[in-house]
Structure 1
C-alpha cells in the first residue's frame, strides 16, 4: 500500500485500510449508515438515511434559508427564494394537469429557472425528463415523442428555435418558457415570469403549501436520455432512491478521506460552513443534475453558474465568489491550470478540483499540486445507467492511484466479467467488462425492453467499459469495450496511448482512436490539442512516443488540432468525428 507524508510532515497516510475506514463511515448511527431493502424482489444494501424522494430534497433545502443557493451573472438566489419559486411553479404545473408519473421535459441551458422547473415537477411526482439543450429539433422531437412528455419547459432560445414544433407533438399539452426572446402568442404557452416573476422577486412569493403526492423510494423520478453516440438515444429511467443515493455516496467518499487521514470528518448540514462550487457542466446531464445540483440542494452549497464555459470568466467567478471547487471533466481542469490569465486572479479559495466523464492522466494530478498546492483532486466514474456517480475517491487516495476512479461504494458491488463469454468473473488484476450493482442503478430503458435486457441483468448493469480491480478494491477503467483497438490480434487500450501523450509538456488534451486497416483490422491514431502558445508537429510526437510505447501501439497518425477535441455534453470525446477528420486530413 502506498504511503504519503502529510502536509505538515508529522504523520503518514493512510492511517488505516480502506476496509476499516469504510466500516467506520457506515457504522450504526452514522450519517452514512447502511441497511437492507428489497428492490424488485432482491435484497439490496442501501443508504439508510438517503432522502425518500426529490420532493423531500426540495423540502429539506428550505432549512438553509437566506444562504445563497445560486449565482448567475448579477442574480443571487437564496434557498428560501428557490423553494418559494419551485413550490409556486409546482402549483402552476398541477393546474396544467401534471400528476404523479407524467413526464415533464426540460429543454434549457443552465439558468436559475432550471432547478426551479426540475424540483417543481419532481415535487409533484412527475418523471422529470431533462433533454440536451444542444440537440437539434429532430433530436428533441424524438425524445419528447419517445417519453410521451405532457409538458415541456424551455428557455427563450430553445423555444424560438424549436418550441412550436415540439408543442405540435401529440403528447404535449402545455409549454412554459423562461426568458422568452419574443412575446409569446401561441396557445398553451406561458411565460414562467408571469407565474413566479424574476429571480430578484422570488423571495416575495407566497408561502405555498404545495401538493405532496404519496412518493416512495421505488417510484420513478427521472428520465435522462443517453448521448446517442452509438445510435438513437435511450431514455434511462431511474427511481427516487437511485438518484438520491448519490447524496450519501458523495458524503461517504468525503468522510472516508478524512478517516483514512486519521482525522474526524467535519460536521454536515446547518452545522457546517457553506461550501461553494463552480457548475461548468450542464444540468441536463446526469452529472450536473444528480451528482452536483441535487447534492448542493441537500447539503446547502452555493452553485455559481456560467452561461457558457470560458476559463477567464471562470477565474473571475472563482475570485469574486470565493469558490472552493471546480471541474467537471479533465479538459476544464487542464484549462484552469494552463491558461495564461490564471495568475491575474486570486484563486486561493479553490481547494478541490474534481471530474468524471472521461479518464484523466497522472500528469494532471502532478500539475494540480504544482499550480494549486492548497487544492486536492478527486475523480469518479458513473453513467446515466448508474444515476450518476458510482465509484469515486479524492485527496490522498486519488493522488496515490491517479489512474483509478475509486472503489465501489459501500452499498455497491463490482464484477469484472469476461467480455467474450459474458459470464465468467475474472480474478483481481485481469481486465474485463465492468459490471456494477447497487441501489443507484437505473430501472432500465424507457420503452426499450430489448436494450434493457442486454444491459440490465439480474440487478447488474453491464457498463460496456473495460476495467480491472486491484487487491484493495480500487477500480481502473482502461477503455470502452467498443473503443479497444485490436491490431492484428493485439489488444491496445486507448488510455495507455493517451496517458503517455499527456506526458508531453505542450499537450492540453488527447484522444486515441482506431483507424480501419485492410489486413490488420485497425491501427491506432490520436488527436491532440496544445496549450496556448505551444507548437509541436506530428513528427515531434512520434519521436517522443518511440521507446515509450511498444511499436505496435504507436499511432500511425497524430492529428494536431487547432480546435478543442469534439465532445458531447457529457464530456465524452466523439471518436467517430475524429475518424472523419482523419479521413479528410492528408497524411504527412
Structure 2
C-alpha cells in the first residue's frame, strides 16, 4: 500500500536536503541592503524573467474564470505584446509607475506582467476606493499610465489624473495586445533590490501608505511557495521535483491589489505551472463552490468573512468539494471557536484548515500554522517560515524572554524596501539593521507565535493594558455571537472602558447580562466589557476582511 503521509522525520529529511548545502533551495547568509540575512542562494533576480521560465508550461491552464481559459503560453505572449505597446506608444520604461484600478480579471494579471517585463513599478490601487481615495493614491504614486475597468473609469471622471494616460481594460488593453502581437519589449537591466510593486496598506487607522516591494521581495515569495510544494509532495509520499509543473489548482477570491492574491498566488503560480481559478465579482457562495467543483480546486486561501458565509449557507452538501485539501485562513484574525465551527460544519475544513500571520510590509506570511500545528497549539499562528527572523521586543527595543509579550519584529528578504515617498513612516517602521516593527503585539512560546493585538488598538483602562483580540475571541465562543468588535471608549475615571459591539446570529436572543457572565468566566474582570451594543448588520471591514475600528460606534 502506498504511504500517503510519511513520518515527520521523512518530511524533515526532504526539506533539509532541499535547503541544505547543494540543495535547490540552499539557504545562505548574504548582505541585503547593508545587513546580513538568510536568503536562498540560487534565485531569480528579476520578476519579469519568470515570463521566460513560464514558456515551459505551454498550453497548461494558468488563469481560469467562469467563461475563459488562458494558458501559460497565451499569458506570456499577451504580456509581452502589452509591454511592447506600453514602451513604444507610451514611453514606459524602468522605474515608471503603471497603476491598475480594476476588479479582478485576467487583464489585471496581464497588465502586471507587462509592467514587470519593462522593469516598471506596478501600482495596485484599491478597487473599493471612492474618488477622494483614488485621487490620493494617484497623487501619491504619480503613475504614467492608469489601467482601469469600466466601473472605475466612472470614478476617474471625478478625479484629477494629472498627466497619466488612462487605458481601459475592456477596450484599450485587448486592442494594444492585438496591435503589438508578436512584438517583444526592450530588455531591462534590473537589480534584485530595484522597486517592483507598490501596494497600499489597509489604512484602518489613517491614510494608506504605499508599500514598496523589490524584485527580491517577490522572488523570495516565489521560492517560499516552491518550497511549500516540495513539502506537500513529501508529505504525500512523492519525490518532489521543483522543475516539473504542479497539478495544484488555487482558488482566487481576494482582490488582486492585496499580497494574498498577487504576491502569494498569481506570481508564484506562473513560476510553478499551477492553475489560478479566478472568481470574479462579489463573493457568492454558490458561484464560488460551483468553480471549486467544476475546476477541482485543491487550495483555497479565504478571509474569515468568506468562511463565515460558508457557515451561514444552506446546501453545501450539493457540491462535490472533495478536491479541496488546503483551506487557509488569512488577512484577518479568526478565533479557535470559529475554526472549530468550520471543522464541525464544513467537511473539507475538517483536516485542511491552516492559519498564518503576515502583513503587506512583509510580502507574505511571517509565520504559518498547518492543521497539525493548530491541533497542538490552538489559538497560535505557527512558526516563522524559511529565512524569517522573528523577535518579540519590549518598549526599549530589546528582545524579551520567551513567553513575555511585546512587539512583533521581523527581518527577512521578504521585508519591503520602504514606504513610497514617506521617509518618516519608514524610519518609524524599519530599524537601521532592517528589522521591521510590525506594530502588532504577541509572544513566542516554544517557538510558536501567539498574537495579542495591535498596539494602535490597545485599550488603557485604569493603568491596565487590554488588547481587544483576546476579548473578541472569547465572546466569539458564544453560540449567539456571529461576530463582534471590542473598542475603548472614554471614561471620566478610568480613562477608557471596554465596549463591545455584538452581531447576533439570525434568530438568536442574548442579553448583555448573559454575555457579561459568559465573558467573566473566561477573562479577568477588567477585560469584561461594561458597555454593549447589539446589531444584526455586519461590522465595517476593508477589502481584506480586517475590522475598520475607526468606523465602529459603541
Q: Give the aligned partner of residue 406 of structure 2.
A: 432
Q: Give the aligned partner of residue 54 of structure 1.
A: 47
CA distance in 2, matches of 1:460, 1:359: 23
Q: Give the aligned partner of residue 311 of structure 1.
A: 285
Q: Is 2:226 aligned against 1:232?
A: no
Q: Is 2:30 aligned against 1:30?
A: no
Q: Is 2:379 aligned against 1:403?
A: yes
Q: Give the aligned partner of residue 376 of structure 1.
A: 352
Q: Is 2:110 aligned against 1:116?
A: yes
Q: Is 2:227 aligned against 1:252?
A: yes
Match of 1:573 among 528, 547, 550: 547
Q: Give the aligned partner of residue 333 of structure 2.
A: 359
Asked if 1 retains the 8 angstrom alpha-carbon contact of 2:486 and 2:500, the reply is yes
Between 222-231 and 541-550, report the one with greater CA deviation: 541-550
The SS at the match of 1:292 is helix
Q: Give the aligned partner of residue 297 of structure 1.
A: 270
The SS at the match of 2:126 is coil
Asked if 2 retains the 8 angstrom alpha-carbon contact of 1:511 and 1:527, the reply is yes
CA distance in 2, matches of 1:213, 1:137: 34
CA distance in 1, matches of 2:174, 2:236: 51
- The Cα of 1:257 is off from its aligned counterpart by 6.8
CA distance in 1, matches of 2:535, 2:301: 23
- The Cα of 1:46 is off from its aligned counterpart by 0.8
Aligned-residue CA RMSD (Å):
2.6
- The Cα of 1:155 is off from its aligned counterpart by 0.8
Question: Deviation string for 1:489-528 (max 9, x for gaps)?
Answer: 1222222212212222243333322222221122222233
TM-score, normalising length: structure 2: 0.92
Q: Give the aligned partner of residue 463 of structure 1.
A: 438
CA distance in 1, matches of 2:404, 2:128: 39
- The Cα of 1:120 is off from its aligned counterpart by 0.3
Match of 2:365 among 363, 380, 389: 389
CA distance in 2, matches of 1:21, 1:525: 50
Report 1:203-214 matches (<5 A): 206-214=181-189
Asked if 1 retains the 8 angstrom alpha-carbon contact of 2:245 and 2:272, the reply is no
CA distance in 2, matches of 1:27, 1:526: 50
Asked if 1 retains the 8 angstrom alpha-carbon contact of 2:210 and 2:419, the reply is yes
Q: Is 2:60 aligned against 1:67?
A: yes
Match of 1:328 among 293, 302, 311: 302
Q: Is 2:101 aligned against 1:107?
A: yes
Report 1:216-227 matches (<5 A): 216-227=191-202
Between 513-522 and 85-94, report the one with greater CA deviation: 513-522
- The Cα of 1:25 is off from its aligned counterpart by 4.9
Q: Give the aligned partner of residue 192 of structure 1.
A: 173
Q: Give the aligned partner of residue 313 of structure 2.
A: 339
Change (3 A) 1:16 1:499: farther
Report 1:485-504 matches (<5 A): 485-504=459-478
Asked if 1 retains the 8 angstrom alpha-carbon contact of 2:6 and 2:237, the reply is no
Q: Give the aligned partner of residue 156 of structure 2.
A: 162
The SS at the match of 2:123 is strand
Change (3 A) 1:450 1:239: same
Asked if 2 retains the 8 angstrom alpha-carbon contact of 1:269 and 1:300, the reply is no
TM-score, normalising length: structure 1: 0.87
Q: Please, which runs of 5 or more residues in structure 1 have no aligned partner?
A: 1-7, 181-190, 583-588
- The Cα of 1:124 is off from its aligned counterpart by 0.3
CA distance in 2, matches of 1:508, 1:315: 22
Change (3 A) 1:543 1:286: same
Question: Deviation string for 1:328-359 (max 9, x for gaps)?
Answer: 31222232244213123222222111122222
Change (3 A) 1:364 1:65: farther
- The Cα of 1:538 is off from its aligned counterpart by 3.8
Asked if 2 retains the 8 angstrom alpha-carbon contact of 1:257 and 1:395, the reply is no
Asked if 2 retains the 8 angstrom alpha-carbon contact of 1:280 and 1:306, the reply is yes
Match of 1:176 among 144, 160, 167: 167
The SS at the match of 1:316 is helix
CA distance in 1, matches of 2:128, 2:455: 27
Asked if 2 retains the 8 angstrom alpha-carbon contact of 1:311 and 1:339, the reply is yes
